Amino acid sequence: MKAILELGGSEEEQVTGNSLARHLGVRAASVTGMLQKLAAQKPPFVKYEKHRGARLTMVGKIRALEVLRHHRLLERFLHDFLDYSWDEVHDEAERLEHFISERLEDRIAAKLGDPDTDPHGHLIPERSGAIRAREEVLLSKWACGVPAVISSVSDRDPAALREMTRLGLKPGMAITVETGSRNASLRVRIGDRTDSLRVSPTLASGISVLAGPDGRP
């Protein structure tokens, strides 16, 4: 359900079984089985049409946002209080997100001072399920020479996160793409620095930006 939420985007488009399977790294048959199960809940969590895909129902969306809030709060808690690095928190949060009570969630949120974002810059849904909309663009698709601010980075690949640490790239940072194309490395300048970094296409596809400097997240 979290994957449907993510892949459906702000338009809440129908998500195909194949794209879910690819995103989750599981077989298409497993996805179909799970979608059927979610659609058979009373009330149903998804509306599923065999050849077209799935969409969350209102109940499903509320549930998915709740789990997403758990996930992102846990990541921030593990990172800020238990000294996990940002490439370690995702897997741990993936396991814990299903088990924490609403009470523990509230305590964690209060201890953290109700943060807006997780360590990767992703917005944490509010307790009501509300989540701010922002039109992020992948760095790999951002125009050269136009100032941007890194808004979030993908948390799915720990090695990519370690590479970003090595390069000094993190959310909130002002950057400009000097040159580069979809298939070649980008040359990226951080803030006012005169030197530039080489960012591989794979890495750039895991970095999201907003127009800067006024687009600061």
Q: What DSSP element (H or E) covers 213? A: none
Instruction: Pick out residues in 60-99 that bind Zn ion (CB under 5 A).
Output: 90
- x-or-dash pattern for Zn ion, window 128-157, by CB under 5 A? ---------------------------x--
Nearest residue to Zn ion, by Cβ distance, number only: 90
| Token pair belonging to 132 | 């701010």
Task: Decide whether 88 or 106 has the Cβ nearer to Zn ion.
Answer: 88
CA dist 69 and 123 (Å) reads 9
Q: Which C-beta is closer to Zn ion: that of 1 or that of 188? A: 1
Give dist(CA 191, CA 75) in Å, integer: 27
Task: Kindly write out the interface string for residues 155-184 of this chain, putting x where it contacts Zn ion by CB under 5 A and - elsewhere.
Answer: x-----------------------------
Containing 150, the helix (H) or strand (E) segment is strand 148-153
Q: Kindly state the helix (H) or strand (E) to which residue 81 belongs, with its residue range.
A: helix 58-81
Q: Which is nearer to Zn ion, 8 or 212 (CB)?
A: 8
Of 195, 196, 194, 190, nearest in space to 173 by CA: 190
Q: Closest separation between CB of residue 156 and Zn ion, Å?
A: 8
Residues engaged in binding Zn ion (CB under 5 A): 90, 155
